[in-house]
Every structure is written in C-alpha cells, then in structure tokens.
Amino acid sequence: AVEKDANTAVELKNGSLVGGRKISVKHAMPRPPREKKSKPDQEGKKDDLTESKNDDKDNGLSGVEKPVSVPKEEEEKVLNKPKNSRKPVEIKKAALCNDAADEGGGSEKQKVARTVIFGGLINSAMAEDVHRQARDIGTVCSIKYPLSRNDLQQHGLLQDGCTSDASAVLYTSVKSARTSVAKLHKKEIGGGTVWARQLGGEGAKTQKWKLIVRNLPFKAKENEIGDAFSSAGPVWEVFIPQKSDTGLSKGFAFVKFTCKQDAENAIKKLNGSKFGSRLIAVDWAVPKKIFSSDANDAPASEEGNLFLKWK
C-alpha cells in the first residue's frame, strides 16, 4: 500500500456505516524508536530521585531513611502485645520430690511413679501414723510433709479427691509404691480416712482404668461391689450414681483400678456374672456422649443390648 491509497481510504470510509454503526478512519501514528522511548522513563526516574533527596533535606533526614507510616490497627496490635510472650513454664510432677534424697535412681518418670501422695491427714499425729505404716510396706527414701494446696491443685490431685493436709512419700521401687496405695487407700487411720495415689506412672491414671457395672441391684452397697471386684485386683474407688429426687441408686456403678491389667481381669471374670439376684454387665466406662450415640445405633434385637440401654 502507498500513502495515496491510504489517503483515499480515509476519505471514502471515514464516517461510513458498517453493520449499522458509524466508523471513524484515521491515519495510524508511527511508534517512537525504543531508544527514544526509554529516555523519558530514565529522565522521570532521575526526577523522582532528585525530588526524594530534596524532601529528605527539607525534613532534616539527609542520609537517613524516611519514616514509614503505620496503620492505626497495626500500631494498636504492637502496643497491646504482651512484653513477655514466652510460653508458661510447665510445672513438672518431679518438683514435689526433687529436693529429697533418692536411693532408687532411674529416670524422672520412674521417680514420680515411685512417689505416693497421701491425703486427708487431719493432723500431725495421723500423718505420723500413716508414714509409719508406709515405711512398713517398703523402703522409703524421703517424706515431704505437708504439701501446699497449690501443689495439690497444680498436679490435679484435688480433682481426684485428695484433700489437705497431704504428703509425698518417695519409695525405692514402683512395686512398693503400688503396694502402699493398695493397702492404705481408703483405710481408717488415726481418726481419719487416708487418700492414696501414685503421683505418676500407670497408678496415676485411675480415671483411665475405670469400668461401668450395669444391672446392679438397687440396694447394692459400695463396699459390697468393692469386695466383689477386688478378686481382679486392688479396687481404688467405687461410685454409685443416685437419683437427685429420691437419693436411690440408678442401678449401675463405676469402679476404678490402679492399672490396666486389673481392669481387664475384672471384665473377663465378672462380666455376665451374678451379683445378688442379677446378672451384671461389666465394660470400660466411656464418656456419656459417646455411650449415648453407640446405644442409639445398636440393634435392639441383640440380647447384649439390654445392658447398653441402662442409664
């Protein structure tokens, strides 16, 4: 195409209709060479640098970076941030017996497993009697008495039923600690009832070794249930839920052991056995929400579900 043809096309087609719409036809402007195109950009950058230097001089910040404006919300976050953001220090159970002489050796986990907490010590005379009987059971490294209420709360002992005053008795072996709990827990000594539990190890997880016993006679007593289940191993606690309006038994109970093996033995020996005039069902206790959902999903035709629906 030549310039003359382009001019003719502009004259003929500019302002004409195409598809019902009026079009505009003009000569295209030629592009500037790349060298010329980049020069204005560079000049603009130079101008920007010059302006920023001048601004720095005007603000008295020559040679120093200009302050950056921070949004108000971010500023409040920085101001409200706590000075000490470190994680809280975890209080270890071994702290109750760290300052005591220890002849048993072993790791920190073994040390807390060898420690027995005795609670419900109503006076120093009772405490002395309990500690004397504790020494008769096994070799004692040390005794820390009394423990502060803060110690009991920090280590979850209060929620397990331990009351002030309390003491920590460190044995040379885990076996002695277990035997001590089995013999002295719930025992009447010096006018009070002893509360005993291992500070750590398997014996500290009594909530985990918890069984539910269903279809009990409504007149069943805690000591009767404890005696029946002691054939499987030392029973740590028996609890019979009662109706709030009448105070009568709901027909089931919870039994806690100090180790998994004893709890498993109780299920094998006593599930389906006869207690009084009834056949009882013994199984691991589970949270109420899980139990309720399992009971609703179970088919009612199975004979075993008779016990699942007891509440």
Domain coordinates in residue numbering, the chain: 93-201, 210-308
Q: Residue 215 has which token pair?
A: 């279809």
Cα separation of 121 and 166, whole Å?
6
253 in Cβ contact with 239 (< 8 Å): yes
Percent of the chain whose predicted confidence (pLDDT) is above 70: 67
Query: Angle, to 10 degrees, between the axis of helix 260-270 and the axis of helix 222-229?
Result: 100
Mean pLDDT score of the chain, rounded to an integer?
79
Please give the torsion angle defined by the CA atoms of residues 222, 224, 228 and 229, in that order, rounded to the nearest 10 degrees: 10
Count of CB atoms situated within 10 Å of the CB of 131:
17
Question: Which residues lie closer than 8 Å to 96 by C-beta, 6 or more apart?
Answer: 115, 117, 144, 147, 151, 155, 168, 199
154 band by pLDDT with thresholds 50, 70 and 90: confident
Q: Flag whether the pTM goes above 0.85.
A: no
Number of Cα atoms under 13 Å in the Cβ half of residue 272: 5
Distances (CA, A) of 86 to 82, 95, 129, 308: 10, 21, 45, 48
Least-confidence region, from 43-47, 108-112, 231-235? 43-47
- Among 54-68, 128-142, 153-167, 238-252, name the one with the lowest average pLDDT: 54-68
Give the mean pLDDT of 177-191: 96
Q: Is the pLDDT of residue 298 over 50?
A: no
H or E element at residue 4: helix 3-13
First to last CA, the chain: 98
| Residue 63: HSE in the Cβ half-sphere, 13 Å Cα cutoff | 0
Helix (H) or strand (E) holding 22: strand 21-22
Domain 210-308 of CATH type 2.30.110.10: no
Q: What is the pLDDT of residue 21?
A: 77
Pick the CATH number of 93-201 from 3.30.70.330, 1.20.120.450, 3.20.20.100, 2.40.50.140: 3.30.70.330
Produce one character per residue of 51-77: b if its CB has 16 or more CB atoms within 10 Å, e if not: eeeeeeeeeeeeeeeeeeeeeeeeeee
Q: Is the peptide bond before 146 cis (omega within 30 degrees of 0)?
A: yes
- Give the dihedral of Cα atoms 220, 264, 196, 132; nearest 10 deg: 110
- Helix residue spans in 34-167 (DSSP H): 34-58, 72-80, 108-113, 124-137, 149-154
Encoding tokens for residue 82? Answer: 């706590």
